Amino acid sequence: MIRDLLESDRNQTIELVNQFFRRVNEFELDGLFRIRPRAATKFTDIYFKLIGTGKVYMRGYFLEDELVSLVIGRIEEKPHLEEERSLFIDLAVTKLGKKKNGYMSALLKDVDIWCLEKNIPAIELRAILKNEEAIQFWNKSSFEPFYIRYRKRV
């Protein structure tokens, strides 16, 4: 079942966000890009504070009471573009051992519906190139590569 994440889901949300952050920190990147300890708690709490604004998407897929997958995103205002607004997905993660069961695909269909209801014409996200599992998933999804983001250490 897909539903909004509630304050009562905070601990499970932090656990799943932390799983993702630990995974990112396992990659050999540029030596600067490291997610700090306790970032999952801060990240999650910021989004829970923003829920009432209507400018965030924060929903999860639940098997009974267990949170198995979630998508967290925010509306970006773009007055300089014809699209004017987009939803930027900051985090999309499925619990280890629960992948390849269609939970994320179902959530992404829900994201589409949510965006249509809010007249948001585009959805964007970033994926770390070293996260090959994520790259494969997004390449098989209805998302298309759109631009390349470059990074340089100074």
Q: What's residue 87's pLDDT?
A: 98
Q: How confident is the model at residue 153 (pLDDT cuts 50, 70, 90)?
A: confident
Class of residue 144 by CB neighbours under 10 A (exposed 0-12, middle 13-18, buried 19+): exposed
Q: How confident is the model at residue 17 (pLDDT cuts 50, 70, 90)?
A: very high
Question: Taking a C-beta distance cutoff of 8 angstroms, is the pair 76, 85 a contact?
Answer: yes
> 113-137, pLDDT tens digit by residue?
999 999 999 999 999 999 999 999 9
Strand partners, 124: 88
**Fold topology of 2-140:** Aminopeptidase (3.40.630)
Q: Enumerate helices (H) and strands (E) in the chain, giving the number of each.
A: 4, 5
Q: How many CB atoms lie within 10 A of CB 116?
A: 10
Strand partners, 70: 60, 93
Q: Please give the Cα distance from 106 to 110 (Å, whole number).
A: 6
- Full strand arrangement of the beta sheet holding 2-4: 2-4, 56-63, 66-78, 84-94, 123-125
> 74-111, pLDDT tens digit by residue?
999 999 999 999 999 999 999 999 999 999 999 999 99
Strand partners, 87: 75, 123
Q: What's residue 31's pLDDT?
A: 87
Region 7-32: mean pLDDT is 95
